Homo-oligomer: A and B are copies of this chain.
Amino acid sequence: MKKVGVAILGLGVVGGGTYKILTEHREFYRNTQNVDIEVVCVLEKDAARAEALGVPKEIVSANVFEVVSNPDVNVVVECLGGITEAKGYVLDALNVGKTVVTSNKELFCKYSHELERAAKRTNAGLYFEASCVGGVPIVRTLLDGVQSNKISSIQGIINGTTNYILTRMAKDGMHYEDALSEAKKLGYAEADPSADLDGFDAAYKLSILASLAFHTKVPFAKVFREGISNVSREDIANGNELGYTLKLLAVGKQSEHGVEVRVHPAFVKNSHPLAGVDGSFNAVYLTGDSVGEVMLYGKGAGEFPTGSAIVSDIIYAATHEGNRYSTFKNNASAEKDVKFVTDFESAYYLRLTVTDRAGALAKIAALFAKNNISIVELLQKSCDAESATVVLITHTTHEAAVKNAVSRINLCGVAKVDSVIRVL
């Protein structure tokens, strides 16, 4: 039976979950996978944390060199997060030929090329399923399940914190601030939640997933990003009335115009499978030229779902030795001359406050027509004697045209655009 020695760097939520899964399932993996996986050392400065998890003192170290150079270690699991320490440690491990499994989306998103070069040089494995949507095996699926397809689009709800907040606002009418503080209390949001709320977390993941799906490097800087902090209960309720659910959506598209990548709040029609992805669940919906539409749905994060992804990668590494280097298989040539689309097309939801109703609506209609924007649905919501709220949804159109129409409407003196939200 093959023996695998594992080192875990960092016993936070994910590292701790990985430790628990590996120790509790050791016999199970011996029986079902024909591998004997042992945690042989752990990098953790906080001795109390290690003790709370029941990690034997003799395998805990605070010295990364000791851990990485340990001859019994075949696989190094990086669960530190951040860049500074993590990058150096991962490169140290790869440079001495140890396989690395990481849950660090920021690291893999920003430095995958450097890490891959190091892995190739020493024929080490490099796995990162856990970096993208913990419990959803989307990396494996893109690499080994739908790799026969030209993927034209991926759409995902790939951040658990924001999805929890938006679900609580939509289903229970909560205010943004209340939903956020509840999410913090429940451990769904971090003390400083800006990486989640402002869409950074989703953008890291989208950068990785779009790179895999489209067989090219999609740099983080190319991902358009807009968070959920301006989302209002009013817009969520209006969307609901029109049959839409608001989600923080990650969208990647590839067409003859180029690659388009963006993260922003978007209304999703309730009949679309993504609309029902609630709370801490996440999902990725992709379209391939042969397979058609495929959706993968599961928990986005958490010690065990993310730990599951890490351990699945460890087993994969152990049982696929002939294929250690499992990331981008595309020729480097495919990366040249990638165009990134910035004026993307979408349908739009607009909320306007209108004074002088009759005259305003005529002006607005004219401004839309001038910008080639046609309207699918319009809902007039009464306000008071002097002004009314109007909500409308447009056909698919260019973002630039919408921006132009919005600025003209705001200048026309009889209406003000309060919200613009993209519609999937």
Contact = CB atoms under 8 A, between A and B. Distances in A.
Interface stretch (A74-82, A253-261, A290-298, A402-410): A290-298
A166 B281 CA distance: 28
A32 interface: yes
Interface stretch (A134-142, A156-164, A182-190): A134-142
A178 to B, nearest CB: 24
A141 to B, nearest CB: 5
Interface residues of A, number: 59
A34 interface: yes
A138 to B, nearest CB: 9
Nearest to A20: B290
B294 A137 contact: yes
B33 A147 contact: yes
A293 B279 CA distance: 13
A19 to B, nearest CB: 12
Contact of A334 (B31, B148, B311): B31
Most chain B beta carbons < 10 A, residue from A32, A33, A309: A32
Most chain B beta carbons < 10 A, residue from A31, A137, A140, A330: A137
A297 B323 contact: no
Contact of A322 (B17, B321, B333): B321
A320 interface: yes
B292 A294 contact: no
Interface in A11-28: 17, 21, 25, 28
B31 A215 contact: yes
A21 B298 contact: no
B330 A31 contact: yes
Nearest to A141: B137
A33 B331 CA distance: 8
Interface stretch (A105-113, A299-307, A344-352): A299-307
Contacts of A145: 129, 137, 140-141, 312
A237 interface: no
Given A21-B290, A34-B331, A320-B322, A308 B148 contact: yes
B140 A294 contact: no
B334 A150 contact: no
A288 B25 CA distance: 13
Nearest to A148: B311
Nearest to A137: B145
Contacts of A295: 295-298
Interface of A: 17, 21, 25, 28-29, 31-34, 129, 135-137, 140-141, 144-150, 215, 273, 276, 281, 288-299, 302, 304-305, 307-309, 311-312, 314-316, 319-323, 329-331, 333-334
Given A25-B148, A137-B141, 16 more contacts: A137-B146, A137-B294, A141-B141, A145-B312, A146-B312, A148-B315, A273-B297, A288-B308, A289-B304, A290-B307, A291-B298, A292-B299, A295-B295, A296-B296, A319-B329, A321-B322
12 contacts: A21-B290, A31-B215, A32-B329, A33-B330, A135-B294, A144-B144, A144-B312, A276-B276, A281-B293, A290-B304, A294-B298, A321-B323
